[in-house]
Structure 1
C-alpha cells in the first residue's frame, strides 16, 4: 500500500510519526510525506486563512490522486483540522478527506478529551470524527470505549504504543553512572504541605495525600453541577461525590466503569449518570476534575526516589519546590534519548494523571534501549510485559525504592531483566508490529455510506476555528 504521512512540527510526536512510517516500510509499504508546518505558518501570517486552507486542500487532493495513495495518517486531529470542514443543512460536519472517499487515520497519542484543551469535543458531537472512512487509534480499551460510546467517534482501534529499535537501542560503550533516569513533563503541580510531610517519610501515606486533594475539589464539582437544569443539580452533585469515593477506593478502574458502578448502586444516581454521559463536555470536565486527585504523583515519585538513588533528570521542569536531588539535562532530542537512557541502569516511567489506563511509549522505548524499566502500575501492563521478569512494576514509592535497591544489589538479576525486557519489545512491541495491525484495520473499514445528503457547504475558517480551538 502507499501511505501519506501528514507530519506536524514538534519533537516526540513528529518522531513518532516517522517511526510509524519506518514500521510501514519494514512491512513493504511505500510512505510519502507532506509537512503541515508550511500550511500552519501561512495561516498564522494573516491574509486569507480560508484561501490558504482551500489551496492546501487542492494540493492534498492532487497529491493523493497523482501518487495513488491508499490511506493517510496524521497525529491527533492535525490532518483533519488543516483541511476544510463542511457542514450540511442538518448541521452535521464532514471532513474534507471524507468527501474524497479517502481513508484517514487519526493517531491519538493522548486521549482526544484533552487535545487542544478539549476543543475537539464540539466537533466530535457534530459528527466530524464518526465517518466510516476514518480510523482512530488509542492505546487502551477504556479510552476507546469513551470515544466510541460517549464522544461521537466512529471506528476506534486499540493500538498500544511501541518503539523503533533503530532509534532506541543499547549503547554498550556508554558509562552507566546513574541508578535512575527519568523524563520530566509539563503541567505537574507544586507540592502542598501535606505532600512535603509525606515526602520525608520512610513509607509515604499516599492515601492521606489523595484524600487531602479530594477534600479541595468541592468548588469545582459545584460548578459542574450548576451547568445543569436546577431540578437535576442535587442528583448530579450526589453522583460526583459518589464518583470521588469510588476513585479514592480504586484509582485504577476507568472513569466510565465508576459511572456504571454508581448507577447500579442507586437508581437516582443512574438518572444523573445518564444526564452527565449525554453531555460529553461536562463528562470530560467532571472526570478531569476527579482525576486531579493524582496530579502530584509523578513529581512526588521522582523527588522521593532522588533521595535514595543517584538520579538524572531529562527535561525543562526542575521540580525545585519538590526538593529534587541529582543532576539534570535540560533537553534531549527524541532520536537521541537512547544516549540518555544509556547513562543509567534503570529508567522511571510514571504516566500522566489525565488517563486511567494504557501505557505511553516510554516503557517500550526504555526496554528497547537496553535500560531497565521501573514502571508505575497501570491497568493492562501485565498483558504487555511479564512483570518481575521483563520490567519492574510498583504501586507505592516505598515499593519502588525497595525493588530498585534489590536489583541494584544483584547485577545478575538486573542483567537478566534488562535482556528479557528488550527481547520482549523486539519480539512484539515495535512499530512494524503495530503497523501490521493498523493496515489490517484500514483494509477492513467499511465503505462510505451511500445515503443521499443535502448539499454541503464549507464552514468558514473563523467559524471552523471556533469549533476546534
Structure 2
C-alpha cells in the first residue's frame, strides 16, 4: 500500500557533481545523504555478509550501497522502501525494482512488510536477516524503518532455527503438537492423546497470523518450549495455503503429520510448497495413496477412520423407538448451491443427471478420470473451464449429483418400512409424500450416540466421493450398540468380516429383503452388533489409530 506522504522532496546537485535529496516537512529541511551520502551508503554495506544471511535494505537511498552489494553477490537481497517521491527523484526503484535478485517491498505497514519478508525468507532457506539501516529513513519514518530494523536484528542475533533443531522421539512418551481447529475429529485426537498419556501442546493458528513475523516467533517459542516430536493436523487444517508453515517446519526439521479424512485432492490443490521430506500424509482411503504420491509426496500411509467408544458409549438396553432410519443429506441443496455459484457452460450441464448416474456406476475414482475414460466428448469443455477452482467445482458437482442419485435409489427401497430420514429438507422434494417421516439434522455428539441404539436397523449409503472406503457410520453405529445395514465397499473386508460382523448389500434390489429379514430376527442383529463392537474395540478406535500414526512417525523420524 502506498504511503501517505507528509513531506515534499526535491533533487539537489552539489558543486562537485554529487546528487542528494532534500525533503521539507513542517517547515524544516533534511538532507538524505549530504555530501558524503554515497560514501556512507558504501560504508554501511561493507560488513554485511554475502553468504549465510539475507541482506535487507531499510531504504534504498541513492542506490550506491545496493549496487555495491549486488556486485559482490548474486542475491537474494530485499529492499523496503515506501518513499515514492524520493524514488521518483533518485531513479533507484526504476533501475532495480524488476531485478530478479531483488525482493522489493513498498508497504508502509510494518506488519505487512514483515509478513512478506518472512515468506521471502522461508523461500530462501530460512536464513537470518541482515538489516542495513539508513539513519535518514529511520528519522523520516521511525514507525516503519526503525521498528523493522529492530525486529530484523533480533533475527540475526538469535538463531532460532538452529535452536529449534533437536533430536526427535528420544523418549518412550511421544510429544505431539496438535494444530487445533473446529473440525470434529480433532476433539477425538485430543482425548486419545490424554488417555494414552502422550505429552501434548494445543496450538490454535488463526489464518490472519500465519506467515507474519509475529507468528514465526510465537510458533518458534512454543516449539522451543515444548520441543514436540512432530506436529499433527487433520485435513491440513491450520496449515496456511502459501506453504509458510510447512517451509518453517522443514527448516526446523520438525515433522508434520496430516491425516486426511476427506478427499485430499479437493483440499490440497489450493496449497503451495506441498511436498517435503518433513511432511507425512495419512489417508482414510487407500485408493488415494498412489495419486498423492504422484503429486510428489513420498510418504503416504493408509489410516482408516475409527470411532471413540467413550463418546459413542455402549447402550445395550436401549428400547427401540423405530424400525428403520437413515441419517444423511439428500445432496439436493448442495447440488443447487454449486450450480448457483458457478457459471458452467451449457454443454457440461445439458446431461447433468446422466453424468451423475454414469459416474455413480463407474469404477473411476475421480470425475476427471471418468470424463477422460468414459465421456471424452466433455473433456474439451471441462479443460476449458477458467481455472483449477472451476474444474474442481465441476468435479464436486458431479460427485454430489452422483451421491444424490445413489442415495435416492437406495432410500426408495426403504419406503415400505416407513423409515425415519434425518438430514436436510431436500428429501421432501425428491421423495413422494407419505410412508416416511422426517427429522432435521441431529448433533453428532449430543444426539447420534443415543439415536443409533434406539433404531432396529440403521441404514447407510456412502457418499460417492469415496468409491472404496467406508465412512464414519460403519464404526460409530455398532460401537454404541446399534445395528447397521450398509452398502458394500471394496475396502470393507480389511476392516470387518461381512455376514458375521457387518451386513452389506451389493445392489438396491437386495435392501428390502435384508431389512425384512433382520427386522424379524432380533437375535441375529444382537450377535452381529456384539461381534462388530468387539472388533471395533480391538482394532478400530481412535486410540489405536493414534498409536499407529505415532509408530509410523517414529519409524521415519526417530
Q: TM-score range by the shorter chain?
A: 0.5 to 0.7
The structure carrying a bigger helix percent of its residues is: 1
| 1:324-376 superposed Cα distances (whole Å, 9 cap, x missing partner) | 72141433242542111122022222221223221122111111111111111
Number of the residue aligned with 1:85: 243
* Alignment of 1:6 onto 2:179: yes
After TM superposition, the structure 1 = structure 2 runs for residues 159-238 of structure 1, keeping only pairs within 5 Å, are: 159-185=303-329, 187-188=331-332, 219-220=347-348
Q: Which residue of 1 aligns with 2:282?
A: 137
1:459 counterpart residue number: none
Residue 218 of structure 1, CA deviation: 8.7
Per-residue CA distance 1:304-331 (angstroms, 9 max, x = gap): 1441224333334451102272141433
Aligned-pair distance for 1:380?
1.1
Residue in 2 that maps onto 1:434: 545
Aligned counterparts of 1:397 and 1:245: Cα–Cα separation in 2: 14
C-alpha distance 68-436 of structure 1, shift in aligned 2 (>3 A): same
Match of 2:402 in 1: 294
Please state how far the C-alpha of 1:408 moved relative to its aligned partner: 0.7
Summarize deviations over 1:275-296 as a string: whole Å, max 9, x none.
99xx988986786576466232
Q: 1:245 to 1:339 in 2, by over 3 A?
A: closer
| CA–CA separation in structure 2 for the residues paired with 1:427 and 1:50 | 40
Aligned equivalents of 1:175, 1:55: Cα separation in 2: 56
Instruction: Check 1:179–1:58 CA distance in 2 against 1; reply closer, same or farther (3 A cut).
Output: farther
How far 1:21 sits from its partner (Å)? 2.9
**Which secondary structure does the structure 2 equivalent of 1:443 belong to?**
helix
Question: Aligned partners of 2:218, 2:409: CA distance in 1, in Å?
Answer: 48
> Rg: which structure is higher?
2
Alpha-carbon displacement from aligned partner over 1:113-166 (angstroms, at most 9, x marks no partner): 223xxxx3153xx5x2211111111112211211211x3434211100000110
Counterpart secondary structure, 1:72: strand
Superposition pairs of residues 367-406 of structure 1, within 5 angstroms: 367-406=478-517
Provide the secondary structure at the position in 1 that maps to 2:266. Answer: helix
1:153 aligns with 2:297: yes
* 8 Å Cα contact 2:359-2:367 kept in structure 1: no
In the alignment, is residue 121 of structure 1 matched against residue 279 of structure 2?
Answer: no
- Structure 2 match to 1:67: 226
- The answer on whether the counterparts of 2:320 and 2:456 sit within 8 Å (CA) in structure 1 is yes
Distance in 2 between residues matched to 1:351 and 1:373, nearest whole Å: 13
Mark the CA change 1:217 to 1:181 in structure 2 (over 3 Å): closer, same or farther.
Answer: farther
Matched, 1:22 2:191: yes
Q: Which of the numbers 357, 360, 365 marks the counterpart of 1:254?
A: 365
Q: Is the 8 A contact 1:130 1:155 kept in 2?
A: no
How many residues matched? 366
- Aligned equivalents of 1:100 and 1:346: distance in 2? 51
Match of 2:200 in 1: 31
Instruction: Go from structure 1 to structure 2 and tell me whether the alpha carbon gap of 1:188 and 1:246 turns closer, same or farther (over 3 Å shift).
Output: closer
Q: Is the 8 A contact 1:7 1:17 kept in 2?
A: yes
Q: Secondary structure of the residue that 1:34 maps to in structure 2?
A: strand
Structure 1 247/297 Cα, relative in aligned 2: closer, same or farther at 3 Å?
Answer: closer
Q: Scaled by the length of structure 1, what TM-score is found?
A: 0.67
| 2:481 is the counterpart of 1:322 | no
The answer (yes or no) to whether the contact 1:387–1:393 under 8 Å persists in 2 is: yes
Please tell me whether the aligned partners of residues 330 and 404 of structure 2 are also in contact (alpha carbons under 8 angstroms): no
For residue 99 of structure 1, what is the aligned residue in structure 2? 251
Pick closer, same or farther for the CA change 1:217–1:394 going to 2, 3 Å.
farther
Using a 3 Å threshold, how does the CA distance of structure 1 residues 25 and 412 change in structure 2: closer, same or farther? same
- Mapped to 2, the partners of 1:74 and 1:191 lie a distance apart of 29
> Compared with structure 1, are the counterparts of its residues 390 and 252 closer, same or farther at alpha carbon in structure 2 (3 Å cutoff)?
farther
Contact 1:189-1:295 within 8 A present in 2 as well:
no
Pairwise CA distance, 1:385 = 0.9
> 2:415, 2:456 → 1: CA distance?
17
Equivalent positions of 1:301-312 (< 5 A) are 301=409, 303-312=411-420
Give yes or no for the alignment of 1:313 onto 2:421.
yes
Once structures 1 and 2 are overlaid, which stretch shifts more, 414-423 or 175-184?
175-184
Alignment of 1:110 with 2:262, yes or no, is: yes
Give the TM-score taking structure 2 as reference length: 0.57
List gaps (5 residues or longer) in structure 2.
1-173, 337-343
CA contact under 8 A between 2:462 and 2:487: conserved in structure 1? yes
Residues 424-464 of structure 1 show CA distances to partners (whole Å, capped at 9, x for unaligned) of: 111111112211220121113359xxxxxxxxxxxxxxxxx
Which residue is 1:233 aligned to? none
The answer (yes or no) to whether the contact 1:129–1:154 under 8 Å persists in 2 is: no
Q: Is the 8 A contact 2:442 2:448 kept in 1?
A: no
Which aligned segments of 4 or more residues in structure 1 are displaced greater than 6 angstroms?
Answer: 243-246, 256-259, 279-283
Deviation at 1:31, TM superposition (A): 2.4
Corresponding residue for residue 70 of structure 2: none
| 1:227 alignment partner in structure 2 | none
What SS is found at the alignment partner of 2:293?
Answer: helix
8 A Cα contact 1:181 1:311, kept in partner: yes
C-alpha displacement of 1:386: 0.9
Q: Which residue of 1 aligns with 2:451?
A: 340
